[in-house]
Amino acid sequence: MSAATIDATSASVIDALGFPKEMAELRERIADWVHRSNRYMQDALDWQFMGGSKYFRPLTIFACYRAMHGPGPIPGHIMNSALVIEFFHNVSLIVDDIVDKSPERRGRATMHTKYGELVALMTSGYIVADGYLELGKDLQAIALFSELLKRLGVAECMQWADRRQVLGVEDWRRIAGEDTGSMFEVCACLGDRSGKLRKFGGLLGLVYHGCDDVGDVRGLPALGGGGKEDLRDGILTLPAAIAIQDPRIGALFTRADPTDADLEQLAAAFMAALPQAERTLDGIVEEAEREARLFAPNPAPLLAIVAQTRRLSSR
């Protein structure tokens, strides 16, 4: 079985960050794991993992390691962490797609659409269990991945409980910080292992989440969740948090059963909020860069991944 496909944009990011060798090894390890998986899970796993990924989470692990330890080979336990973060990230995607009732992700059928919810849910459990086995005796990583699973569960419930409410940008930061932010925060800790880059990772996650929100409004290929589903369900995205401060838009946003005309007005208002959303993201980027320079002996890899992440809202 060959390694996962990778698009030109992802390949350019990997090259820009200086990790083509490491990512090739990671992709081969994923392919080998899928090949060795139980035959009843193999088709679904092949569909989920071999269709490609942006790989920003393992790249964050590698960048944080290099920022703290300098050049040289990526140690085995760090590579294991990068492998398992891809496992857990895909579990979060599978669950999100079921919750959002998303038929497609990045132009392909979602796992539950192609194989059914039973297979998708059982495969998710299989992935998590194998992820912990891959970590072996790395107790620090086991604790971090356990933290991540708990926080992702809380984030999903928080996001659902807070939907269709007139909240602001600080509320968006709180919710996004437990959703995408927790994933990147744990990535930073897995790569660094001292905890010094934890805040940096959280800020990087906010940038990624916000760029996804902006990209959805622009109609760009989704990095994470789906823009149409978020609009339909009243999810607090960054453009929404800005736009709904207008009482008229806020009233539309809180409707339990919005009409197509309501959704069109909301979409237009979110589009109008994009310049302010971009300025907000630039401010978070400055926070992340400050953290990188404060705590990393070699901040260049961190500054590079922030810059590559920030570009996602316009790709």
Does residue 226 register a pLDDT over 60? no
Does residue 1 register a pLDDT over 60? no
Where does the pLDDT of residue 74 fall: very low under 50, low under 70, confident under 90, or very high at 90 and above?
very high
Average pLDDT of span 290-295: 98
pLDDT digits (tens, 9 = 90+) for 75-102: 999 999 999 999 999 999 999 999 888 9
Residue 112's H or E segment, with its range, is: helix 111-115
pLDDT at residue 177, as a whole number: 97
**From the CB of residue 261, how many other CB atoms can be counted at a distance below 10 Å?**
9
pLDDT digits (tens, 9 = 90+) for 149-173: 999 999 999 999 999 999 999 999 9
For the chain, domain boundaries:
8-314
**From the CB of residue 218, how many other CB atoms can be counted at a distance below 10 Å?**
15
11: its two tokens: 């390949």
Asked if 105 contacts 226 with a C-beta cutoff of 8 angstroms, the reply is yes
Where does the pLDDT of residue 238 fall: very low under 50, low under 70, confident under 90, or very high at 90 and above?
very high
Give the whole-angstrom CA distance, residue 281 versus residue 237: 13
pLDDT digits (tens, 9 = 90+) for 108-130: 999 999 999 999 999 999 999 99
Give the whole-angstrom CA distance, residue 126 versus residue 197: 30
pLDDT at residue 125, as a whole number: 97
**Whole-number percent of the chain with pLDDT over 70:** 95
Say which CATH class 8-314 falls into: mainly alpha
pLDDT at residue 129, as a whole number: 97
Give the whole-angstrom CA distance, residue 102 versus residue 96: 8
Does residue 241 register a pLDDT over 60? yes
Between residues 124 and 50, the one the model is more confident about: 124
Give the whole-angstrom CA distance, residue 81 versus residue 282: 29
pLDDT digits (tens, 9 = 90+) for 194-222: 999 999 999 999 999 999 999 999 987 65
